[in-house]
Amino acid sequence: MHRYFIVFSYNGSDYHGWQRQINALSVQEVLESKLSLHLHEKVEVVGAGRTDTGVHAKMMFAHFDFQNEIKDLNKLAYKLNTTLGKAIAVSKIKNVNHEAHARFDAKLRTYQYHLIQEKNPFLDGLAYLHFKELDFDKMNKAAELLIGEKDFSCFSKSKTQTFTNDCEVTEAYWEKRKEEWVFTISANRFLRNMVRSIVGTLIDVGENKLEIEDIPTIIESKSRKEAGKSVPAHGLYLVDIKYPKELFI
C-alpha cells in the first residue's frame, strides 16, 4: 500500500465545507469522486482539517492510500484538474511515508481573513465588506494578546467534541494590502469557528465596543457569550499548513 499527499486549493462558495455530508455537496466528496474515477477504484481521502461552509483554502492537504505505486503523479494531477471543475485546483501530489497523516502530522496552520471597507465587485464573496471605521492599530495591540498557549474556549463553537481547547497561537496581526485589510493568524491547531469569532471580537475592539485589556478577561472567561460575533465565512482562507520534512519521500 502506498500513501500520497495531495496539495490543492478551492473556492468554498459553492460547497458546504470540506467534510463529506449526506445531503449537501462538499469538497471532500468531489475530490474523492474524481480520484476514484481516474484511479479506477474507490478512494477515500483524509483532510488536514475541516473548513466550514463558504470558507476558502489557498493551500489544503489531504492523504489517500492506493494499492499500486502511481508512476506519474503529475499526470494524475493534470487529469484531476480537467474534471474537478473551476472551483478546485490540484497543485501537486506527493509520495509520503505510509505513516504520514494529513491531519495529525500538521505542525502549524495559518488562516487569513480578508476585510474591505468599500464596495468592490471584484472581491464580492471573497472578502467581508465592513463599512464602519476601524482602529487597526488598536486591533493589532489586542491581537498581540492572543499569542501564546491558551484555552480558547471563548472563541469556539459550543458543543464541539474536542479533548482540549488549548491552542498555541504563534502570530496574529492585521496588515493593509492594497484595498484589503488582512488578518493573519497561525497556530498549532484551531477550534471550530475560532478564527471568525476572533476577528469579530477584534472588530469590536476596532469600533471601541471593547477595550484592548478586555481580551485577556474574555479568554479567561472560557465563555463564547463574552466574545464578539462571528464574521461571515466568505472572508476566511486557509493559506498554509506545515509538516515535518521527513514525511515526504
Domains and CATH numbers, the chain: 2-104 (3.30.70.580), 108-240 (3.30.70.660)
| Confidence (pLDDT) at 248 | 87
**Percent of the chain clearing pLDDT 90 (strictly above):** 86
**Candidate from 18-32, 106-120, 197-211 with smallest mean pLDDT:** 18-32
Q: Between the CA of residue 116 and those of 12, 14, 101, 140, 185, what are the distances in Å?
A: 19, 21, 36, 17, 18
Catalytic residue IDs: 52
In the predicted structure, residue 163 carries a pLDDT above the cut 70: yes
Look at residue 204 and give its three-state secondary structure. Answer: helix
Largest Cα span, the chain: 59
- For the record, the C-alpha cell of 174 comes out as 492585521
The pTM score is 0.93
